[in-house]
Every structure is written in structure tokens, then in C-alpha cells.
């Protein structure tokens, strides 16, 4: 495991050298680089001798910092620090919230990003993912706790995170990204409606956009057949007329 300092916080990452573009995995909310999708992509990259980088946002996994001090914007900046850490073009793979950060990072580094893979991408979820009552709690109390179906610990959202999300919404008009993009979404996703991936596909400037719906797929898309689809999709993007580097 390696570490870099960003604004006084040690960010943990694993960088696997190899042929480019470098695959950069962006985890979901409160997730980390040890998840099954991130590890499977790293294992595939190692076997294919492809460059790959996975990391933990500040406050998550092995990285320093307090979770509740972080925002969508600070996690976007963590992703940009990782893109800046490696040389040459990158392909971003974003899971859930990581799909939102993937888009923000690509808009911030258009000269570096040459492909996108979204897995149950959840841009703008601070808008549609909370009820009016929950938004009022965030405004008035500064913090929201909800039971999690993925962890024994509750999911915590802070007012700072929510406000940063509202300030970085993208789904209100065209998204000026013209790189090959693949969006994978399970139609039994209880957290992010699969229709959002269809809307995102329509908003992206690129003509090379494909949306793949997994009829029996859930939000995590971590079953063996889901992982196999993700790897096939990643291989497709890496071969979609984008520059490769030794």
C-alpha cells in the first residue's frame, strides 16, 4: 500500500504499473478500495499487464481524515489527486457515488480522461435520493443517520456533503464529455433507479455511449456474472480507439 499527502491527509492507494491508459477505480459512498469490484478489476489488470490504480477517499478505508469532515467536492479532489499522480491517459471506473465523481473528475481533467465506465452511477443523488423531510433534517440538524442494508453501521450524511452535492449537480443539461462511455445498471437496484443511467446516457455529449441493463441485477453488481460483465465492458472501452501507452 502506498500513500500521498493531500492537504495534510494521507490518502492510501495501490498503483499497479503496466500498459496504459491507467484504470482508476472510484468507490461509492463510504466504500473503499477493498471491495469486490475494485479487487476484481485490479486482478484482471495484473493478469493483462494493464496499469491500474485504486484508492480510498479521505475518511474511508485506510486513508486518514474523519469521514464526517469530507464532502463530495473533497472526494472529487481526492480523485483528481490520484489522476495527477499517474502519467498519461486514464480510464475512470465509477461505482454508485463514484460514478458522480467520475463525471466531475472527467470534466476537470478532460485532457487526461479517455474513457468512462459507470456502475450504477448515481450523479445528483443529493437531489433525488433524499425525501423533503430528510433534507430538512440535514438543513436544520446538520447530520442524518439512516440504517444501512450493506453494513451494521448506520449511513451518515452531513449537511456539508449534501450542500456540496447540490452545488455540483450535473443532470440538468448537456454534459460536455465526448469520450467512450459505458453505463451498467441493475434493474432491481433499490438505491439508484436504473432510469437514471438512461437519462445520463442522453445528456452525455459523446456518441459512443452504451447502457447495459442487468434485469436481475441489484445495486452492488458484485455477483460473478456481474463482475464478468464489468470486465468485458472495461476491455471494450480500453479498445475503443483510444490511445494506449507502454
Q: Which residues are catalytic?
A: 96, 189, 219
What's the Cα-to-Cα distance from 163 to each of 47, 75, 158, 166, rounded to whole Å?
Answer: 41, 14, 9, 5
List Cβ neighbours of 177 (8 Å cut-off, separation of 6 or more): 103, 106, 107, 110, 113, 116, 204, 205, 206
Local structure of residue 218 (DSSP, 8 states): -
Crossing angle of helices 36-48 and 224-238, rounded to 10°: 50
Distance between CA atoms of residues 150 and 134, nearest Å: 20
The C-alpha cell at 223 is 455477483
Distance between CA atoms of residues 162 and 139, nearest Å: 9
Amino acid at each position: 500500500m502506498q500513500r500521498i499527502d493531500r492537504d495534510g491527509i494521507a490518502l492510501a492507494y495501490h498503483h499497479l504499473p503496466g500498459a496504459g491508459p491507467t484504470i482508476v477505480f472510484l468507490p461509492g459512498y463510504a466504500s473503499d478500495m477493498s471491495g469486490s469490484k475494485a479487487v476484481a478489476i485490479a486482478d484482471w489488470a495484473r493478469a493483462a499487464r494493464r496499469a491500474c490504480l485504486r484508492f480510498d477517499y479521505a475518511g474511508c478505508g485506510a486513508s486518514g481524515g474523519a469521514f464526517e469532515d469530507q464532502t463530495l467536492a473533497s472526494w472529487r479532489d481526492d480523485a483528481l489527486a490520484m489522476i495527477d499522480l499517474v502519467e498519461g491517459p486514464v480510464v475512470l471506473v465509477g461505482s454508485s457515488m463514484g460514478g458522480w465523481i467520475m463525471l466531475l473528475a472527467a470534466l476537470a481533467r478532460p485532457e487526461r480522461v479517455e474513457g468512462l465506465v459507470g456502475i450504477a452511477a448515481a450523479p445528483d443523488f443529493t437531489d433525488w435520493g433524499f425525501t423533503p423531510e430528510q433534507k430538512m433534517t440535514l438543513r436544520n440538524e446538520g447530520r442524518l443517520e439512516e440504517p444501512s442494508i450493506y453494513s451494521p453501521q448506520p449511513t451518515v450524511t452531513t449537511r456539508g456533503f449534501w450542500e456540496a452535492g447540490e452545488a455540483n449537480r450535473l443532470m440538468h443539461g448537456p454534459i460536455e464529455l465526448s469520450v467512450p462511455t459505458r453505463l451498467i445498471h441493475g434493474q432491481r437496484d433499490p438505491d439508484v433507479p436504473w432510469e437514471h443511467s438512461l437519462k445520463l446516457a442522453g445528456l452525455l455529449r459523446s456518441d459512443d455511449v452504451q447502457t447495459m441493463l442487468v434485469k436481475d441485477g441489484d445495486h452492488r453488481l458484485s455477483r460473478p456474472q456481474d463482475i464478468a460483465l464489468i470486465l468485458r465492458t472495461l476491455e471494450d472501452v480500453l479498445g475503443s480507439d483510444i490511445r494506449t501507452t507502454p
